[in-house]
Amino acid sequence: MDLTPAPTENSLKYPVVEVEAVDTGEQVPAEPLEEASSDFEPDSDDSDGWETLSNGEHTIQLLRDEELRDGVAPGACTLDEANVFRQRLHAIGKAAFVEETIARETVTAKKLCTAFGILPPPFLEGAPDEAYHPLLAIAISREFSRRPKLPQYNTIDDAVRLLRESKNIIVLTGAGISTSLGIPDFRSKDTGLYSKLEHLGLSDPQEVFDIHVFREDPTIFFSIAKDILPTENKYSPTHGFIRLLQDKGKLLTNYTQNIDNIEANAGVLPEKIVQCHGSFATATCVKCQFKVPGDAIFNDIKDGVTPECTVCKQEIADDALKPQGLKRKRSKNGQQKDRKNSDSSDEDDYEIPTPGVMKPDITFFGEDLPDEFGQRLVHHDRELADLVIVIGTSLKVAPVAEVPGVLPRNVPQIYISRTPVSHTGFDIDLLGDCDVVVSELCRRAGWDLQHHMIPADEKVEITPAEGYESRHVFQVVGA
């Protein structure tokens, strides 16, 4: 039985925003803990350091499972203890869990915080245990909102069996499935696109995809757009894997965060794709809404030129040929006025007419996702899906990052990427190069995934991640 609240289409219709690894906004009305809302906000998610929460005055360190397993925090729960507490919370609910633990004093709030990923902060050292209740409320709320792992799915054989038996697979993809084609992802340290944007002078590299920045100065976006243009007539083995699922009648929908439109190169049908963040497939004038195929502006983008609307240019040229007395001027709101009806004092209001910029139809931060995203997910796919495969994304951009959490919790979920995520729970984590992982899964399933980038004699070694029954690392032998 699915006990999660059914999402609504409106709940997924929010502007695209960057999210961090944790969500601390929910209140926990469980007694005896006092109801508490958090003033702490998530700080940067640095894969080489601690994750933190901060309210400007204090910083709270977040514990990863690896740190619990390795015992880096004195007095913390072990990973096994933490998993027992988490399972119990999901089984009986927040109020009963607090009654069973804190009210009966079977464990201290200070220690219990560590089971849910919060390191007791130095500023509370020596304080009575009740002082940890607000932090524990945040930690419990955080954990309870996460989808719990399904315990029956753990091994590679389980993953292969799910592939073979499932008939309606949702595939959620990110930039990691295109990196083997030379298209950079966004967040990888030193190699991701964001790491290379310091020369633009932005306070945050993500501003290059901010709609407000684009409207103010589109040249910032077009200075880097050539680096993320679609690769012509190419697709990766992972794109081929999605096409193979389609050919076998198993692909329900590919929700892609990518804007490169490479799925089309692989032959994935348009009706099987939801381009959550739009794509370069088309472009639209920001002034007159004239739309063109995306490749019509590719040469300008490759040359580092801001593409301008040909319709606007023609209108400006036509206006220039009109007799002087019939020329019109534009008011600040974009409406035109007859010059002959304007006062001479309005001369300063005249502006040199300029054509509109052709904006690729990608969804910038601050813009709503296409209506198709929420409609299809909530009204169609949610009740049909029998497997979810998330590939090549760190799930840090909302509302797409919320997809795994709004699907029924009994639907198994597999995660494929180079590194695991800590803020969303999957049933099986398959870590490594996406192309290597999917090609090995296909071999074990007896499927013929043909692609020139997959060596005929490729051998893949799979090793379990230490301390994790359901996390496996893929590595090409000899690589």
Is 113 annotated in a binding site? The answer is no
C-alpha span between 58 and 289 (Å, rounded): 48
Three-state SS annotation for the chain: CCCCCCCCCHHHCCECEECCCCCCCCCCCCCCCCCCCCCCEECCCCCCCCEEEECCCCEEEECCHHHHHHCCCCCCCCHHHHHHHHHHHHHHCHHHHHHHHHHCCCCCHHHHHHHCCECCCHHHCCCCHHHHHHHHHHHHHHHHCCCCCCCCCCCHHHHHHHHHHCCCEEEEECHHHCHHHCCCCCCCCCCCHHHHCHHHCCCCHHHHHEHHHHHHCCHHHHHHHHHHCCCCCCCCHHHHHHHHHHHCCCEEEEEECCCCCHHHHHCCCHHHEEECCEEEEEEEECCCCCEEEHHHCHHHHHCCCCCECHHHHHHHHHHHCCCHHHCEEECCCCCEEEHHHCCHHHHHHCCCCCCCEEEEEECCECCECCHHHHHHHHHHHHHHCCEEEEECCCCCEECHHHHHHHCCCCCCEEEEECCCCCCCCCCEEEECCHHHHHHHHHHHHCCCCCCCCCCCCCCEEEEECCCCCCEEEEEECCC
CB atoms near residue 249 (< 10 Å): 8
Is 288 annotated in a binding site? The answer is yes
Going by C-alpha positions, the residue among 161, 110, 52, 128 that lies closest to residue 412 is 161
One of 277, 423, 451, 472 is an active-site residue; which one? Answer: 277
234, burial (CB in 10 Å: exposed 0-12, middle 13-18, buried 19+)? middle
Strand partners, 389: 171, 414
Q: Structure tokens of 322? A: 């009109």
C-alpha span between 401 and 182 (Å, rounded): 24
Is 276 annotated in a binding site? The answer is no
Q: Determine whether 423 is an active site residue.
A: no
Q: Which residues contact 170 (CB under 8 A, 6 or more apart)?
A: 252, 253, 254, 255, 381, 385, 387, 388, 389, 403, 407
Is 285 annotated in a binding site? The answer is yes
> 413 — alpha (psi -120 to 50), left (phi > 0) or beta?
beta
Feature table: binding site: 285, 288, 309, 312
Feature table: binding site for Zn(2+): 285, 288, 309, 312
Catalytic site positions:
277
